[in-house]
Structure 1
């Protein structure tokens, strides 16, 4: 069987642990709130109604594609493509290509930054492999102007951060919704988790300070994984509404 991502790929290692996937989710939640095209998801009403569920489903889709055989992965990517086209038809307008690229770029960037926070520094070759996997996903989505390789992508990513992000009323509303759905304590953990992985441009636009409450917690958490206490910690700090999905990430990883 031919898989979309090789079985020994660093991408599978990154997306095969729930804590890394959840940190990817946290970073994407911060940056997505600043995206100039976020109004598209407000158009359907799904994002403000369930911002965590909407973002979690995006991350879950990506993960399912990464672990699927190539045929199923292509089917999933094609389905996502057609869902977005249906939204465009409903609004009688077109989602700009750069907006699709921005979501892809978030998956690339936070895959790297989250793994490096929780595990180790990645080699250039590993970063190239991560970029290559998501580039294939983007090409299947018919995205244009994707850089040839990771090193060529870096200035493209920098340009995105500069040109496609802005603090807007949607930004403020999304963070209000995050807090509403998480509660004050878990919301604090979300913010502190975001601080660990977001780039400086995102930090500045969100007016986050440089204090890192979780920076000192990460080594303790790594130790907890060794002695299998991490699941208890996750149950405490993560919303119970997503307990089943989070548990399934770990189950899938143990198969």
Structure 2
């Protein structure tokens, strides 16, 4: 039985970990709000009006790809492609190829950054493995001009960050929506987490300074996991109506 992602892949370890998956989307939420193609979100209106629901929908798609047999994973990727093509047809425009690459690059980068933030430093071979998985996803979607390897991706990632970001009205509105759906306390924590996750260029465009001891709190959270009392922190930090969706992230099994 062949799977899209090997059973022993670091990608599986990353995407079955609830904490890491939430960090991936926390970082992506900051960066994508700056993306020059963010207006596409406002065409459908789904993410701006309900960002948390869209988060869990995206996680479900991602985990279907990571943990499924290859045939089912490829069908899931094709479904994602069809959804985007439907949006393009409705708008009468084509989503820029660089915008697709931007999203793909975020998944690669924040998978690495999030894992290293709460677990350990990744080996170069593991980073290359992460790149390979998402590169194959991009190829299946028909994306053009994808880098050939991890080192080339590092260069292209920097170019994309320098050329494809801007802070505008959409950026401000998206962050307002994050605050609306999370509440003041959780929104504050989101911002602090984003500050230590995102690349420097993203930090400079959104934030001013970071004086809150976020890294100290992360260390305490790691201790709480060792003591198996981390459920208390999650009960405080996560909205009640999404607790089941959050719990399901860590229960995903191979299809």
TM range (shorter): over 0.9
* SS of 1:216 mapped into structure 2: helix
Q: Which runs of 5+ in 2 are unaligned?
A: none
CA contact (8 A) 1:196 1:212 kept: no
Deviation at 1:115, TM superposition (A): 0.3
Number of the residue aligned with 1:64: 64
Specify the alignment match of 2:116 in structure 1. 116
Deviation at 1:126, TM superposition (A): 0.6
Q: Is the 8 A contact 2:16 2:251 kept in 1?
A: no
Q: Greater CA deviation, 47-56 or 73-82?
A: 47-56
When the two chains are superposed, the root-mean-square deviation of aligned CA atoms in Å is: 1.5
Shift, 1:252, TM fit: 2.5
TM-score by length of 1: 0.96
Aligned position for 2:207? 207
1:52 equivalent to 2:52? Answer yes
1:176-255 equivalences in 2 (<5 Å) = 176-252=176-252
Q: Indicate whether 1:130 and 2:130 are aligned.
A: yes
Which secondary structure state, in structure 2, belongs to the residue aligned with residue 144 of structure 1?
A: coil
CA contact (8 A) 1:34 1:165 kept: yes
Q: Is the 8 A contact 1:48 1:177 kept in 2?
A: yes
- State the alpha-carbon separation in 2 of the partners of residues 213 and 241 from structure 1: 28
| Residue 134 of structure 1, CA deviation | 0.4
Q: Is the alpha carbon distance of 1:77 and 1:208 closer, same or farther for their aligned partners in structure 2, counting shifts above 3 Å?
A: farther
Equivalent residue, structure 1, for 2:18: 18
Q: 1:60 to 1:254 in 2, by over 3 A?
A: closer
Measure, in 1, the Cα distance between the counterparts of 2:151 and 2:195.
24
Structure 1: state its 5+ residue gaps: none
Give, in angstroms, the shift of residue 253 of structure 1: 6.4
- Contact map agreement 1:2 1:70 (CA 8 A) in 2: yes
- Cα distance in 1 for partners of 2:181, 2:213 equals 22
**Conserved 8 A contact 1:195-1:212:** no
Greater mean alpha carbon deviation, residues 213-222 or residues 111-120: 213-222
Quote the Cα distance in structure 2 between the aligned partners of 1:254 and 1:103: 25
Q: Does residue 168 of structure 1 match 2:190? A: no
SS of aligned partner of 1:220: helix
2:251 alignment partner, SS class: helix
Aligned equivalents of 2:26, 2:171: Cα separation in 1: 15
Contact in 1 for aligned 2:67/2:253 (Cα 8 Å)? no
1:92 corresponds in structure 2 to: 92
When structure 1 is superposed on structure 2, of 43-52 and 87-96 the one drifting more is 43-52
Kindly indicate whether the alpha-carbon contact (under 8 Å) linking 2:67 and 2:254 is maintained by their aligned counterparts in 1.
no
Q: What is the rounded CA distance, in whole Å, between the counterparts of 2:253 and 2:197 in structure 1?
A: 23
TM-score of the pair, normalised by structure 2: 0.96
Q: Is the 8 A contact 1:33 1:170 kept in 2?
A: yes
SS in 1 for 2:250: helix
What pairs with 1:134-153 in structure 2 (closer than 5 Å)?
134-153=134-153
